[in-house]
Amino acid sequence: MARSMTGCGEGFADNQGVACRVEIRSVNHRHLKCSIRTREGFHLLEPR
């Protein structure tokens, strides 16, 4: 039986001057925690 599980992934998309980079990491967690970082001017869109 596995006692430790680590996972990670990364993706990048660029379309008409709008770029998005996503990183996902997990070390022995069963829950999801999302963190969003945006450039200045986009912070109003974060709650969406």
Give per-residue pLDDT as tens, 29-47: 677 676 767 777 776 766 6
Number of domains forming the structure of the chain: 1
Q: Is residue 30, in this structure, part of any structural domain at all?
A: yes
Domain containing residue 28: 6-41
DSSP assigned state of 29: -
Q: Is residue 15, in this structure, part of any structural domain at all?
A: yes
Q: Is residue 47, in this structure, part of any structural domain at all?
A: no
Q: Is residue 46, in this structure, part of any structural domain at all?
A: no
pTM of the model: 0.49
Q: Are strands 6-15 and 18-27 parallel, antiparallel or unpaired?
A: antiparallel
pLDDT at 4: 67
- Which helix (H) or strand (E) covers residue 27, if one does? strand 18-27
pLDDT at 48: 58
Q: Is residue 1, in this structure, part of any structural domain at all?
A: no
pLDDT in tens, 7-16: 888 889 998 8
Q: Is residue 36, in this structure, part of any structural domain at all?
A: yes
